[in-house]
Structure 1
């Protein structure tokens, strides 16, 4: 295949060592379009940065969320999120995870907000995700901004909305 691709398509084929050890500790390497999880100089897996929709840090964990595949069947298994435990210095609180998430945010546009908010509702108490959040409405998505997390929800991913009342005291809005 290598000579054929080189001759007819002028595409060089490179071989990469892969790792199938099953270990959970390794290092990450970033390129322009991917990041790789490397074990003993072999690539365990590779994640395209364009497939990420969110990258957040919680203590020593880095949480990556992926685009939802609209073409997936009901019984298909898809990766929605990944969590990485990234140890840092003992005195710091999650500095390893913070630098990992910062590196991803610099290379992608997952946490960049383009445009101006159409409307903003402050101090909304939410059950899930728990806590008080500011809800910002943009032209194609809404953003939940809390103390620990930011969530971005595309309007095209909202399938149903419900208003539920409880004991005539509370009204729950469910997306």
Structure 2
């Protein structure tokens, strides 16, 4: 029994790590693995990777599924890195979605905010002064997390709203 408990916990930790690298909840899969040890690890390994959301999406912003193979690719990509299919790139400014909108009172403040956002690795749309948009994101929670990050780390404040782009 003494040898099996540490082995059981190691399998649960490995399952949690694999789950988090595949865009799943590590703590949730750790708990699942405590009850279904080996089966949970196999299940996580068989599941497809999910695009990261929220603040984690700042590392890999702007993903979309490939229309041919459904794997995650950059929205601006013209070729799928997984299957090689040619896809139509989607520019940030041409996408609707949830955004963190910040408004500048003056042109100088807008330029300062735009320069500050250029230094931060966040998808940004600058086409409608005096408004600056971080996003767009598919989920409202993603935009809320980015706004919290911008406020806490960079002193930028705004509101979360839906941005509709007419096509």
TM band (smaller chain): under 0.3
TM-score scaled by length of structure 2:
0.25
Q: Which has the higher contact order (CA 8 A, sep 6+)?
A: 2
Q: Quick check: which one's strand share is greater?
A: 1
TM-score scaled by length of structure 1:
0.24
